[in-house]
Structure 1
């Protein structure tokens, strides 16, 4: 073989290696099947939007243009499937993971990412257990259940002036956690917990537990779970003549709840909190602009967590740029000290990986539409 051809083959081999090195894989996991699919698809669309925007701008690391590639997986809100797809992403050599949505899948998956040395930023996991594990690469961009549930409990007593409270949870890590934190905050003179019941994340008939609660005449029913259960539960409460207020965390605090509950959602009957939120003209404009861009790109309205997914991707990319490397152990220190201004507000993490001074937004529903009450930090 001539020297010319040898030189050409070497050049092609080097070129191919360089091209391979220019692709940085980022994993994303959410339930895009099952009862929470509408929320999971919302998350995945936002992750793709962020990746597409970064690539379109010519994303560079250490002066070299790279292509970010999203590897999206479905955990179906199932812990076993969640750990299976986590291992799949590890095997695919992703440089970071955005996800999961449900605490029940995110917590067990986080050990797999930790063991592999892969940073994980969750846009939705609120269970306190997630960061209490003290995994150095586990972060979240939303407030945790201690703040969310506790704030709702205090609001119920101080603002709604309720006295008799019934609590239901769906037995998931998230549902039990937020209900437990609510109970810690729902304390005051004359306040009674008149019932504690549970259902499942896939149940459709709540007649037995609601009938039991009805006889205790609660002023408020707190539900720890997701909108796919909360909506039908509200319908069955109305059918049984339970006129109590209905309260829950971010799992029920979606645009879809009004559709799922129909006229049972009432006006001002439901109070819920989203783990996040913005206030002030500048930040509200940034969020409104994001929602408009999201609708234009996807043809869909934001359901709940999309802005936090978008920011999580951007934070991870910013840490890579600051470290001049996409290697996890090199950009992890930059994640720990990140100071990023996102569409959801300022993002900095404490020593545990929790967001500093995380916001909560309180909502109610009027005319079937989610209506903001207040933003609390």
Structure 2
């Protein structure tokens, strides 16, 4: 059975264990597999899952843990890995650098042999330092800051793209699809947001687009109308916000209340359904650059069904990338025929054709996903809908 989350109250722990057991049983029935008797054969294989489980990004962290639970349930229902069960150890990093250091050390002390998780890059960066010192592989599912795989650490990987890929993608969309001449870029001064903003601004300037505003807001505020009024006076064709969904929802709502009609865009941290709950009808027409959501991936239909059956709602944006992070980690353990972290790291570097729900996964020398993909989605009638993507030749085409 997948282990309890460290520090959860007993009632919540029991509910979590019951949910996971139900997921495992359901998946076993769906697959026609009877779970094996691997428990007790030398103990479980512990995989750490550091994510925000408190604060404004807690729902994103919970969604990621849910994806990890589905992956572990599938693996365990099929007999586990090396005759042992996968045991998840979630830990709250609160999207905060100091908390992240403590969370990472707790996972090391708990005896995890590998880690799959991450959400905010500002937390993932200090976590990666701790895991590097401990020699534990860290497979990221959502953290996109380039520095994570530019530090020369051989134990850091990711199943998602990078901000220096998303920034030029966003700039190309604004120039070639929206035909924007003037763009305002707003970040929230966090590691992820500022990095994406800088990469986007550089690409826009290279493409000859006038960046009329590039500055930061302070997250957690209740009113962004002064900033939006200033930005509106500069008459941009597009406002691109690179922070998180909680502020994005409020900003687009206030922008429309101020009568600002320009296109409002967001980066891939705004792709959470909470955006629409905060903004209401004002979010309609907002465009987001993002890695493909699970519901738009042909290989993730079964995952979406399993997630919905298990949790009573569809998956958020990154749980499927966590599902693949746990899956590719389990594959590396099996390939290594070992639970030694160094052996798992070496096996991850050799992954070349893992059939993930998000597509085929392989890692380059830095640990980045070899073929990362970005698309645009649009808010319509309180839902995210596919919008535009680039084809193999770099031409923009409508998605269906």
Taking structure 1 as the reference length, the TM-score comes to: 0.89
Structure 2 partner of 1:156: 174
1:287 to 300, 306, 311: 300
Does 2:123 align with 1:94? Answer: no
Aligned to 1:53: 74
**Shift of residue 292, structure 1, vs aligned partner:** 0.7
Q: Tell me, what secondary structure is at the counterpart of 1:26?
A: strand
Alignment partner, residue 290 of structure 2: 274
**Partner of residue 163 from structure 2, selected from 115, 134, 145:** 145
The alpha-carbon distance between structure 1 residues 149 and 158, as it changes in their structure 2 partners (threshold 3 A), is same
Q: Displacement, 1:285?
A: 3.7
Aligned residue number for residue 366 of structure 2? 352
1:323 aligns with 2:341: no
Task: Please show how residues 65-84 of structure 1 align to structure 2 within 5 Å.
Answer: 65-84=83-102
Structure of higher CA gyration radius: 1
Distance 1:235 1:284 in 2: 30
Contact 2:294 2:304 in 1 (8 A): no
Q: Secondary structure at the match of 2:131?
A: helix
Unaligned stretches of 5+ residues in structure 2 = 1-38, 393-400
| 1:279-316 deviation line (CA, Å, top 9, x unaligned) | 9xxx9442121101111012221111010000000000
Separation in structure 1 between the aligned mates of residue 301 and residue 372 of structure 2, nearest angstrom: 19
Q: TM-score, normalised by structure 2?
A: 0.84
Alignment of 1:158-173 (within 5 A): 158-173=176-191
Partner of residue 245 from structure 1, selected from 245, 251, 263 = 263
Deviation, 1:278, is 7.9
Structure 1: distance between partners of 2:317 and 2:334: 28
Moved more, 180-189 or 161-170: 180-189
- Aligned counterparts, 1:181-330, within 5 A: 181-187=199-205, 191-267=209-285, 270-276=286-292, 284-330=297-343
Query: Is 1:38–2:59 an aligned residue pair?
Result: yes
Question: Following the alignment from structure 2 to structure 1, what is the Cα–Cα distance between the partners of residues 207 and 306?
Answer: 48
Equivalent pair of 1:157/1:188 in contact (CA under 8 Å):
no
Cα drift, residue 201 of structure 1: 2.8
Question: How far did residue 111 of structure 1 move?
Answer: 0.5
1:188 Cα deviation (Å)? 6.3
RMSD: 1.8
Equivalent-residue separation in structure 1 for 2:348 and 2:288 (angstroms): 31
Q: Deviations over 1:100-156 (max 9, x none)?
A: 111110011101000000000010010011101121010010110011111001110
Q: Distance in 1 between matches of 2:264 and 2:105?
A: 39
The separation in 1 between residues aligned to 2:158 and 2:60, in whole angstroms, is 17
**1:371 match: secondary structure:** strand
Do the aligned partners of residues 50 and 190 (structure 1) sit closer, same or farther apart at CA in structure 2, a change above 3 Å counting? Answer: closer
SS of the equivalent of 1:250 reads coil
Question: Does residue 146 of structure 2 align to residue 128 of structure 1?
Answer: yes
Task: Name the SS of the counterpart of 1:331 in structure 2.
Answer: helix
- In structure 2, the partner of 1:6 is none
